Amino acid sequence: MSGMIKGKVFVLGENIDTDQMIPAEHLVYSLEDPEEKKFYGKFALSGVPATESGLPQGQIPFTAEGKFESDYKIIVASNNFGCGSSREHAPAALQIAGVQAVIATSYARIFYRNSVDGGFLIPYESKVDLSKEVSTNDKLEINEETSEVKNLTTGKTYQLNPLGSVSEIVKAGGIFKYARENGMMQ
């Protein structure tokens, strides 16, 4: 599991639901067609009210106008991230937008499972509500081996909960690919 995830952070509040991650009107695109699939990245988090972004008047969109991928590689949120419907498109949209990890104090169970089982992104948990500790546009570095996140902007370091085999499942591309690679199924 050794590795680093490094990038700009986008900070959200609590109860960010799957309809905010990818609104229903954008579920018309095929995940199998590369030209259509990129629209999930364009519209990722487009349902989040501007006041939830932690920025004055919500001035910075998650994905810039005219782009299909976000500049933000890490999302930091508070409690109950991924609540709402069980749509698998939510973690897929974040991954397509370029997100590699989410750090939250808690997750809706179905979002957490979809993120890991589908191999979309790594859902880290933190005992400290980092949405109160970091700001959008800070640069973070997550050390996967030590489960630490360092805010490269402020120099502060925080401990994340250990992942167990979650990281390996995501990196394998999902639960079924992981099981095949590890001789658990044929």
Structural domains of the chain sorted by starting position, each given as residue range(s) with its CATH number in brackets: 4-181 (3.20.19.10)
The tens digit of pLDDT for each residue in 103-142 reads 999 999 999 999 999 999 999 999 999 999 999 999 999 9
| Position 54 pLDDT exceeds 70 | no
Host H or E run for residue 149: strand 148-151
Look up tokens 């690679």; give the residue: 181
CA 16 to CA 102: how far, in whole Å?
Answer: 12
Q: How confident is the model at residue 166 (pLDDT cuts 50, 70, 90)?
A: confident
Q: How confident is the model at residue 56 (pLDDT cuts 50, 70, 90)?
A: very low
